[in-house]
Structures are given as structure tokens and as C-alpha cells.
Amino acid sequence: MEKQVVRFTRLNRILHVIMIVSFMSLALTGMTLKFSYTGWAATLSHLLGGFESAGYVHRLAAVFMIGIFVTHIVDLSRKRRREYPSWRALLLGPDTMLFNKKDLQDLLGNIKWFLGLGDRPKYGRWTYWEKFDYFAVFWGITVIGSTGLMLWFPEFFTKFLPGSLINVATIIHSDEALLAVGFIFTVHFFNTHLRPEKFPMDMVVFTGMMPLEEFKRDKPLEYEALVKAGEFDKYLAEPYPPIVIRTIRIFAWTALSIGFSIVVWIIYAMLFAYQ
């Protein structure tokens, strides 16, 4: 069997799975409300146990989402303490999630490569589109989360904010959610899973590891750095048994299907039933 390179910690993988479940729940229950004028929405709301339970699901999933966010921040600070001398080292080092000059070079280089004007850029640990997805979640949780809390506790927020801000919050919450759902279920799905190199899906976020050849090809700078540091062997691991892989595939396919269905439904609602 092909050698595998470990890329994600167990906690990261668990958080991603929880995020999938939470995000799908939020998307399904939220979109039924946003597109309540379509027959789809009424059917779905009914399937989810009526609007009231859909509301509970939505809020419960939101709590999980915020939980994931907090857990990630806490994990990040622990990682910093464990592996980096300072926040600066973490945030400005070669493995940073923050955008830097190289990302801009990579983006331009990539576009050149798309157009056949150059070679593919050599990526490090994180590509620029991975970083974009990562910060999209930061942005989304901040914007959707804060407006969501306003809609959840309007009595509290209107103690110091005008009531019409709830109307504004409704629009922002709903349209930002539409953006998030649309982006994740199209661009993110394509970039990570559906593009022909990875088709039908990239398992790395579930198994936490990727094949050695793929790693060498996709993350050449990271590979070189690890070999140089003589730490590469620490990251090598045996793949999971086929039964685990199959289970993961079933889960992932379910998530993908739900995501695509929602996209189709949104497009249908926007084009044919928009109010």
C-alpha cells in the first residue's frame, strides 16, 4: 500500500466533521425559512418535524458552530505554546494561515499556469485558496453568528439598538448565509473534491493523511522543508483499513449530495420563484 503523509490532527478532523453536520443543518433549516414561499421549503420543513423543531435544530447547530470556532482558537493557542516561541512566529512563519506575499505570487503564477504561460507554482503547506476557505469561515462565523444572535435574542439587543436594526440583521444574516452556502457547495466543493485531480473527493480532511506522491506533487515546498529538517519520517503513516475508508466515503457522499441538492434548490428558487 502507498505510504501516507499525516497532515491534520485528530482534533482538526473531528472539528471538520462536526462542522459539516452543523453547517448542513444550518443550511437546510435556514434556507427553508429564506425560501419559505417555495413548495420545497414547506415539504422540507414538514420533513424536519415542522418549523418549530427546525428552529431548534438551527439554533443547536449554531451553538455547535460557535463551539467549533472557540475550540479551534483554544487549540491554536495551545499549538502556539507547544510548538512556537511566540504568536509572531506562528503567524508570520512559513506555515502561517495568513495571506502573505508568496500567496499573491502563487495566485499570479497559478493564473499564468492556467493560461499556459508558465509552470505550476510550488505550494507550501497551505495554498492561497485553502487560506481563502479558512478565512471565509472566520468571516462567516463573525457576520452570520453576530446577526444570528441578534435575531435569536431581539429583546436583549433592542435594549440598546434600534428595532429596525433587526430588519437589517435579517437581510445580512440571510444573504451572507446564502453566500456561504453557495460558495461552500460550489467553489469549495470543486477546489477540494471535484476538480479532476481529486475527483470524486479528497479524503485528506477525514483521514488526516494523503498519499506520499500526491503530497510531493501538491505541497513540494513543505516536503522539501520537512526533508531538509530531517523530520519527514515522523509524518509517515499507514493508511486506514478499507472499511473505515468506505464509511468515510458514505458520509462524505451524503454531505456532498445534500450540498448539491441545496444548490439546485437555491437556483430554482432564485430563478423561478423569487419574491
Binding site for other proteins (CB under 8 A): 32-34, 36-37, 41-42, 45-46, 50-52, 54, 111, 113-115, 129, 151, 154-156, 158-164, 166-168, 170-172, 175-176, 178-179, 182-183, 186-187, 190-191, 195-197, 199, 275
Nearer to other proteins among residue 60 and residue 161 (C-beta): 161
CB of 171 to other proteins, least distance (A): 5
Q: Which residues fall within 8 angstroms of residue 101, CB to CB, at 6 or more apart?
A: none
CB of 102 to other proteins, least distance (A): 18
- Nearer of residues 51 and 84 to other proteins, judged by Cβ: 51
Instruction: Return the number of the residue (87 or 114) whose C-beta is nearest other proteins.
Output: 114
Q: State the nearest-atom distance from the C-beta of 55 to other proteins, in Å.
A: 8
In angstroms, give the least distance from the CB of 188 to other proteins: 9
CB 244, min distance to other proteins, A: 25
Dist. CA 30–CA 26, nearest whole Å: 6
CB distance 172 to 143 below 8 Å: yes
Measured from the CB atom, is 6 or 42 closer to other proteins?
42
Of the pair 109, 208, the CB lying nearest other proteins is at 109
